[in-house]
């Protein structure tokens, strides 16, 4: 579970996130929707422990437990953002082996090979990241985020600029069988949010203006109305 209590973030007097309260249970896949500047990326980065809140709190597991501020919990987070966190001079396999070693006393070769196969990276595994296209780099970035079997998967517009094959892999691997995970997906794509997620949270100027449980195609008009 992720629990946010009166979460706020201010940058130079500008309120990026304001008194946000969220509860996300294991097994839920939640779409964060909002126009540019709504606060989606700031919220994702606070959940990931990259950005420190100005006030309020984040809890993992229960209201009595800490959130991403402690290293043990950051190890439970898989983040996919505009930054791949991959070393350009290393191959895909070398990058994944490095990150696998961060989560285990010794690199988990079997898991690394399984992730490489799962994301269709076998033919590119020895290729340097610096030579990859946007789509292949994004596949590698998602594989890197999942190599440690995270409990909290945070995605900041992972579908931007990628091909349909990569989108299909993302849907199958992330959104089809994650009953024991918490998944938060920041996106501008309403259709993907409806197709991939079970719930929507709509932000505007750093505030939650609507929550929609059990989103479906019938929710699209409600989402568009809220965004406009």
SS3 99: helix
Mean pLDDT of 175-181: 75
CB–CB of 157/82 below 8 Å? yes
Per cent of the chain over pLDDT 90 is 61
pLDDT at 101: 83
pLDDT at 189 over 80: yes
Q: Specify the range with the lowest mean pLDDT, choosing from 21-25, 72-76, 97-101, 106-110.
A: 106-110
At 20-47, the pLDDT tens digits run 999 999 999 999 999 999 999 999 999 9
- Beta bridge pairs of residue 212: 200
Cα dihedral across residues 56, 61, 62, 66: positive or negative: negative
Give the model's pLDDT for residue 83: 85
Asked whether the predicted pLDDT for residue 106 surpasses 70, the reply is no
> Would you identify the CATH topology of the domain 1-76+151-163+178-228?
Rossmann fold (3.40.50)
Q: What pLDDT score was predicted for residue 104?
A: 66
118-154 b/e with 16+ CB inside 10 Å = b?
bbebeebbeebbeebeebbbbbbbbbbbbbbebbbbb
Instruction: Decide if pLDDT at 105 tops 60.
Output: no
pLDDT(58) > 90: yes
Q: What is the pLDDT of residue 159?
A: 80
Provide the percentage of residues in the chain whose pLDDT is more than 70.
97
More confident residue, 135 or 186: 186
- How far out from the chain centre does Cα 59 lie? 17
Q: 181 with 153: CB under 8 angstroms?
A: yes
Cβ neighbours of 66 (radius 10 Å)? 13
Instruction: Identify the sign of the CA torsion 24, 5, 189, 124.
Output: negative
Question: Which pLDDT score, from 0 to 100, does residue 178 have?
Answer: 64
What average pLDDT does the structure give for the chain?
A: 90
Higher-confidence position of 201 and 162: 201
Mark residue 27 as left, alpha or beta (left: phi above 0; alpha: psi -120 to 50; beta: remaining): left
Averaged pLDDT, 121-142: 92
pLDDT at 50: 94
In angstroms, the CA 204 to CA 37 distance is 8
Q: What is the pLDDT of residue 228?
A: 85
């Amino acid at each position: 579970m992720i629990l946010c209590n009166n979460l706020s973030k201010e940058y130079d007097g500008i309120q990026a996130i304001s008194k946000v309260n969220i509860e996300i249970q294991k097994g839920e896949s939640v779409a964060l929707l909002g126009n540019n500047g709504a606060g989606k990326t700031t919220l994702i980065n606070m959940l990931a422990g990259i950005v420190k809140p100005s006030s309020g709190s984040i809890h993992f597991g229960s209201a009595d437990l800490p959130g991403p501020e402690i290293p043990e919990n950051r190890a439970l987070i898989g983040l996919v953002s505009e930054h791949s966190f991959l070393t350009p001079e290393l191959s895909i396999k070398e990058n994944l082996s490095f990150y696998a070693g961060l989560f285990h006393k010794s690199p988990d070769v079997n898991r690394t090979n399984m992730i490489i196969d799962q994301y269709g990276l076998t033919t590119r595994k020895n290729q340097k990241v610096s030579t990859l296209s946007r789509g292949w780099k994004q596949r590698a970035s998602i594989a890197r985020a999942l190599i440690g079997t995270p409990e909290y998967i945070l995605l900041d517009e992972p579908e931007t600029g990628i091909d349909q094959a990569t989108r299909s892999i993302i849907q199958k691997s992330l959104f089809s069988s994650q009953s024991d995970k918490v998944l938060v997906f920041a996106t501008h794509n309403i259709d993907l949010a409806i197709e991939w997620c079970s719930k929507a949270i709509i932000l505007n100027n750093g505030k939650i203006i609507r929550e929609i449980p059990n989103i479906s195609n019938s929710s699209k008009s409600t989402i568009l109305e809220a965004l406009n």
